[in-house]
Each structure stands twice: as C-alpha cells, then as structure tokens.
Structure 1
Amino acid sequence: MIASLWFCLRILIAWVLALVALGIVWAHVFGDPGTVFALLVIGSLVMAAVNTASHLHRVKLVAGRLDHDSLASRQRRQIELPLDAGQAFALVESVITGLPRVTDVESSPGSLQLRAKLGRVDPYNMSPPSRWNPRSWLTVKRNQVSATVTPGQGTSSVTLLFEPEAGAWVDLLMADEGSNHENAEAVSRALSRRVAEQRRDERESAARTEAEKELSVARLNLLHAQVEPHFLYNTLANAQVLTRTDPERADRMLGHLIQYLRSSLPGIDQSVSTLGQELERVQAYLEILRIRMGARLALQIDVPESLHDVALPSMALQTLVENAIKHGLEPKPGGGTIWLLARESDGLVNLTVADDGQGFGGTSSGTGIGLKNLRERLRLTCGPEAAFALVSNFPSGAAATLTLPRANTVPPVVPRLPELPHAS
C-alpha cells in the first residue's frame, strides 16, 4: 500500500513541477496563462492520474502484488542457467526472438550480448494506442530488452534488462502499465521451461541408455552362459569313456580339466577377458585335446606379450579354436595344425585362428550357434570398431580373424583359486 501511494505521489509531484515550469515559460512568452493554460493543466493532471491508476491495476493483475519492484517500469532479472556460455546464449536468443511483436533484434554471439525492441499495445484490446487518445501522444511506443551472458564454471549467468525505449526521465511522468514486468516474467518463465525440458530429455535419455545397457549386459550374460558349458560337457563325456577304456589317459584328462577350471572359474561371472587369460585357457584346453588326438594335433602360437592386455569377449578365442578342431582337423585324416597369430596395426589388433583342415568343403559352413553368439558378444563387448571375419586358408583349411580396438583393455591381474590336489 505504501509503495502504491508513494508511486502515485511521485508521478503527480513530477507532473505538478513540470506544469509549474511550463506555466513560468508560458507567462514569459504569452503573458498571463489564463483559461487555456488552466484547462491544459487540468487535462494533464487527469491524464497522469488515469495513466497511474491503469498502471496500478495492470501490475496488480500481472504480478499479483504492488511493491517497489513490480511497479517499476524498468525490470532487471539475473538468471543462472546450467549450460555453457554458447548454449545459454542460443537459448536466450531463441526465447527473446520468440516474444510477440519483437523487432530490430541485434545479436552478437561473440560478445554474448543481445538487444531487441518490443512493440507496445493496449493491454485490453491488443492493438496499438489510437492516435486520437491523448495519452498516446506522450506514451512510449516501444519497450526494449537487452541480455548479457556471463560464462561460469559449468554454468552461465544471464542478466536481462527490460525498459521503455526512452531515457529515465520518462519514468517520472509516465508508467508502462506493467508491460516490462510482463515481458520480464515471460522471458523468465520461458527460460525455466526450456531448461526443465532439456533436463527432462536428458533424464529420459539417460534412463533409455541405462535400460539399453542393462539389456545388453543381460543378453551378453545369456550368450556367455551358452558358451561355457559346451566345452565342459564334451570333456566330461570323453573322460567318462576313457575311464572304461584307458584309465591313465582319463586321469591325465581330468587333471588338465582341473587346471582349466582353475584358470576359468575366477572370471566365470565376467563377460570380458584379456588375450593373455584366453591364451592360458586355450592352452589348458588343447592339452586335454592332445590326450584324445595325440600327434594329429599341432599348435603354433605367435602372440606378442605386449598384446596380452587386449580385451575380448570371454571364451572368444576358445570358440574359434573349438570350431577349427571340430570342423577342420577332426574330420581330416592325419589331423593338422592350428595357428594363433596376433598383430597390431593402426590402433587395431587382429587376432587370427587358422587351421589346415578340411575348410569350407567339409560338413560345416561356419555359421553355427557358436560363431553367431561370438559375433553378438563381440558387438556388445568391444563396440562398433570390433569385427569378425571367416575366410578360406591357403592351401586348405579356414582362418577366423577377430579385429579388436587396441585401446579396449582390462587389467591383466586375475585372482587364483587355491591349488587343488591332482586327480588320482
């Protein structure tokens, strides 16, 4: 209430002082003011009173209160945005240029400043003031807004100024009927809404990413679970047969199986392994096969130790070796050789498992569940840079190559189980 009375009193005093000064000038120029001047004074005071009352009513409707800040014709807003300076400036520019009746936009992204003009209208009929309205002869036709973005640490501070397109002197005589307060609140609301929408989109995107990640992990674990039992079932079945025909070889096979499990069980819940761990596991696996195949199986390994920390799907190398033996060497009379080769080039590691077995002319085309699972696990584990290729080897056999990103590494240290007694 006090703010409203002071606002009215201030404008009326300013008008009285202005009319007194005008009367003095009138007396020096035209002589005694007389009736015409008195009518001018009365009309001016009535116009000032009407403008002041309209301003109070409009501000009360817009702001819901009457105080010093809401009654002022010049409004200032300081808004913190959780964006970097470039994003904050683009957001502010988008909001201001989206205001109704905006004209003469001056945007300077380099200096993070923006200015614009906003045409005024009669708030009750949404049209420019009539030229026959005496108040429109003195009123300011446009407002203006200026914005400055100040960069911060991960945030930006936006300073917004809303004011009449005139000097400060006009505030003593005319009010803006709450138009600048309305513009200030509109921009503040729009910025808050835009930031809230952006944060909501980010949360939804993060939720989708997390859901996709969980789905990928679940699929990866399922695929991994399909691979691991395959070898164990075959080995135990062979050991069962050997216990009846050759107990000594069965004993050695079970011993190597224990060594294999010792290297595998600490990482049984891990979907990612290292090339070094996979080599250790494959060597234990091949020792088991040597018992069954004897001299029909030869192995040559050429893998630099510097590549032992390269990450790849768990059991991936063994899957390739199993395919080479099952579809290449076992059906071939006299067996053959398996080569394990690894080379690094242009940030990628090429890991090849080759054999000189029957190749694609045998009973399998290399499109079984093992290789299908391997392709899917490779995509989920190592990303889009990883690849798998299966081609014919020369002069016979097949060659399977995994292409892995060199930067994709995991710690090479794996905990060990306590030594187990050798089976007897």
Structure 2
Amino acid sequence: MASIRFLFRLVAAWVAALCVALVAWNALDVSRDFPGIFIFIWFVGLVLALGRGISHLYRVRTFAGRIDPETLANRQRRRVEVPYGTDETLDLVEQVVRALPDIQDVAAARGGLQVRGMVRHAFAEPQPPGTPLRKRRPKDPFQRNTRINASVLPGEGTCTVLFVCEPDSGAWMDWFNPDGGVSLELAETLVRALTQRINERRTRERADARQTAMEKELTAAQLTLLQAQVEPHFLYNTLASAQELVRTDPARADKMLGHLIDYLRRSLPKTDGSLSTVGQELERSTAWLEIMQLRMGSRLVVHVDVPEVCKGYAMPSMMLQTLVENAIKHGLEPKPGGGGVWIRAACDTTGLSLTVADDGLGLRSDGAGSGIGLKNLRERLRLTYGNTASFTIGNNFPDGVAATITLPVAEPAHA
C-alpha cells in the first residue's frame, strides 16, 4: 500500500501541475488552445517521474528491506550515540563524511559543532579515457545533488550525532522528482561508517589496555629479577669481608659481625623491592661502611653530608649501597693509601639529588666500576620512574669518581 500511495501522490502532483497550467492559460484569455507541445512535455515528464518513482521504490526496498513512509522519504535523519567527548566525536564525524563518494565542499565548523558537505551526483567529473566500464559512473540529469549536514550534540561523557541527508532543491520538488533512494543510502552509509569507526577505536583501546597490563606485569617481573640480583651481590661481598677478618683479627671480626647483624637487620625487610627512604638507605650504607672501615682501617675515611629534611624522601632500596660499594671496591681499595668517600644529598620541592664521590683511582680504561651493579641501577631507575629520574657518573676533581642519582618528588610509576 505504501508503494501505491507513493506512486499515486507522484501522479497527483503532475496532474495538479497540469491543472494549474491550464487554469493559468485560460486566465490569460488567449484565443488559442493550450499548446500541444506543453501537453507532450508534461506527458514525458510524468513518464520519467513514474520511472524514477519505480526506481526509488526498488532502491529503497534494496537498502532498507522494507517500504514505508519513513524509508520512502527523500529527506532522511539518523541519530547515533557516540561514547566520546565533543572533539573526538567531531573528528570521527568529519572522517566519515569525507569518506563518502563524490563528496565535495566539506566544511567543519568546530564552533558550531557541525560538518557539512555536498554530494554532487549529476555534475560528477567525467572519468578519464580507458577507465573500465564497471568504474564509470553515468550521469543522471534528473538526479539532484544531496546535502549532508552532521551536527554533534554534546552530553555528559557522550555525544549524539544527528545526520541529515536531503536533496539540495526545495521540498516542493520532492513531489515531482524522487531522489531514487540516494538520501536513504547516504544516511545508512554514514551510520554504518561511524559505527564501524567507533568499534575499531574500542578494539584498539582494549588492545592498548591489554598491552599496558602486560607491560606492567613485565615491568614488575623485571624489577623483581633485578632486585634478586642486587641483594645477594652485596650480601656475599660483606660476608666475604667478614670471613677474611675472622682469619686475621678475631677482635675486629667480632665488631664486624655486630655491624653485619645491623646491616642484615636493615637490609632483609626491603628485599621485596618496595620503596625505602634516604634515611633508611643511609643507615644501611653506614653499617656497611663501618664494616669496611674495620677492614681497611685508616685507609678509609667516610664523610656524610645529608640534611635531616632529605632523609624522609623516598627512594628505591639498595641504590645508595650500590654507589658506595662501587666507590670502595673500584676506587679506594685498589689505591695505595686508600682515601675518602663522600655521601651528599640535596632536596627541595622538585626532587632529590644524591651523590656518592671518592678520591680514588677514577674512571679506568679497563671498564672497572661499570658492571652489573650500575647497569641494574640504571634499569631499576628506568622501570621505576621512567624518564623523570636520572643517573650520571663522571670524574671527581681532582681525583676519583662522582656518581649522582636524581629522583622526582612525585610517586614513581611502580611503587
């Protein structure tokens, strides 16, 4: 019934137009009869309009799968809910509008949250010679161009997109010249394209979330592995020093064992890789240095300059110990006469700077002092703080090496 009503309305519009023309002719009080050429033109127009009407019905049934007043309309409106903000939604809408075939004059008015364009059917540029027939688009002199208007209606966390597809001529022309289902086709195409882009974006977001979760798990595993490598490294070295003193000086060995117990008491609770503080790390390193002073005697002098306010700053465990042991093992122990080691800290609202310096042999050409300890330190800084922390090592003036760790005040990425 909808098809019959549609065709009847089309015929009625053309008959009404003929009646108006006859009345106007008689009103002119012309002695001649109504020209037959006009009747012929009217008849040809009616036949073409009926042909376009039948084509319109066929295409509407093909695209929509049904025929009713909503799908038969020459002017189509569609609403799509988009789960993104205004700017992101407007970008998606502009992308799908620009992807339409034969679209021209696309303009995005971001202030008005609109995207407009014109699909030019009848005046499409001819294809170059040699284009295959299946790719050629025949011109239709009766096909009107189609206006595309997309409006974004912002909401709370989501937006509503309103697509309007309509012929560019006045609404009165719809009674005489159907658009052949073009507006319906374009409206459905826009909805499908926007829905597809939303689904693709959600798929990428889910993939990114899975990737981020995997990276976090990998980072945690790497930190655990690095910590497991660091803790035994210092513990074994300290036990080796204690073992040596037991053989040579039992009295000093007894003192060293006391310091070793203190060192272990301060070290073992932090083997889980959790953050420590500057004060706790300083106590740990001091206990170790006292052991080394018993071993080296007057060949080792320790200088500590750490303000009280800096002792509460958070830092990863064992990093200060790594620098202290590196200074002793590679800088002062091989040097005849030994030397001194300095532990300095400076802090403010932007971050913490912690330096361990010595006046030992300095950076050596054989690469001593740049082994697994410092490599693990750099890797732990990267995994824990990303690019917001740094580690530098260089020559100390006039002799020795100075190594500095700079940490941010903000919470690390993996506390």
| TM surpasses 0.5 | yes
Match of 1:214 in 2: 217
Match of 2:301 in 1: 298
Q: What CA distance in whole angstroms lies between the structure 2 residues aligned with 1:40 and 1:388? A: 89
The answer on whether the counterparts of 1:311 and 1:410 sit within 8 Å (CA) in structure 2 is no
Match of 2:82 in 1: 81
Q: What CA distance in whole angstroms lies between the structure 2 residues aligned with 1:72 and 1:111? A: 27
Match of 2:63 in 1: 62
Q: What CA distance in whole angstroms lies between the structure 1 residues aligned with 2:58 and 2:273? A: 71
Query: Percent of aligned pairs with the same residue?
Result: 50
CA-CA distance at 1:276 after TM superposition? 2.7
Task: Give 1:62's aligned amino acid.
Answer: F
Q: 1:309 to 1:78 in 2, by over 3 A?
A: farther
Greater alpha carbon shift after TM alignment, 354-363 vs 96-105: 354-363
The answer on whether the counterparts of 1:310 and 1:408 sit within 8 Å (CA) in structure 2 is no
The answer on whether the counterparts of 2:144 and 2:179 sit within 8 Å (CA) in structure 1 is no
- 3-state SS of paired residue (1:83): coil
Q: What CA distance in whole angstroms lies between the structure 2 residues aligned with 1:230 and 1:96? A: 63
Task: Give 2:308's aligned amino acid.
Answer: E
Match of 2:96 in 1: 95
State which of 149, 153, 178 in structure 2 corresponds to 1:146. Answer: 149
Q: 1:14 to 1:401 in 2, by over 3 A?
A: same
- 3-state SS of paired residue (1:154): coil
Aligned residue runs from structure 1 range 120-131, under 5 A: 120=121, 126-130=137-141
Match of 1:378 in 2: 381
Q: What CA distance in whole angstroms lies between the structure 1 residues aligned with 2:45 and 2:153? A: 44
Q: 1:40 to 1:325 in 2, by over 3 A?
A: closer
Match of 1:416 in 2: none
**What is the RMSD computed on CA atoms of the aligned residues?**
3.3
- 3-state SS of paired residue (1:308): helix
Higher relative contact order (CA 8 A, sep 6+): 1
CA-CA distance at 1:300 after TM superposition? 2.1
The answer on whether the counterparts of 2:391 and 2:403 sit within 8 Å (CA) in structure 1 is yes
Q: What CA distance in whole angstroms lies between the structure 1 residues aligned with 2:24 and 2:252? A: 126
CA-CA distance at 1:320 after TM superposition? 0.6
CA-CA distance at 1:345 after TM superposition? 6.8
- 3-state SS of paired residue (2:152): strand
Greater alpha carbon shift after TM alignment, 44-53 vs 371-380: 44-53
Q: What CA distance in whole angstroms lies between the structure 1 residues aligned with 2:41 and 2:407? A: 90
Match of 1:26 in 2: 25
Which consecutive unaligned segments of at least 5 residues does structure 2 have? 124-133
Q: What CA distance in whole angstroms lies between the structure 2 residues aligned with 1:309 and 1:102? A: 64
Q: 1:246 to 1:343 in 2, by over 3 A?
A: same
- 3-state SS of paired residue (2:100): coil
Task: Give 1:315's aligned amino acid.
Answer: M
Match of 2:3 in 1: 4
Q: What CA distance in whole angstroms lies between the structure 2 residues aligned with 1:261 and 1:335? A: 26
Q: 1:332 to 1:36 in 2, by over 3 A?
A: closer
CA-CA distance at 1:19 after TM superposition? 3.0
Which consecutive unaligned segments of at least 5 residues does structure 1 have? 131-135, 413-424
Q: What CA distance in whole angstroms lies between the structure 2 residues aligned with 1:181 and 1:23? A: 36
> Structure 2 length as normaliser, TM-score?
0.84
Correspondence 1:358 to 2:361: yes
Match of 2:15 in 1: 16
Correspondence 1:199 to 2:202: yes
> Structure 1 length as normaliser, TM-score?
0.83
Q: What CA distance in whole angstroms lies between the structure 2 residues aligned with 1:402 and 1:358? A: 21
Task: Give 1:78's aligned amino acid.
Answer: R
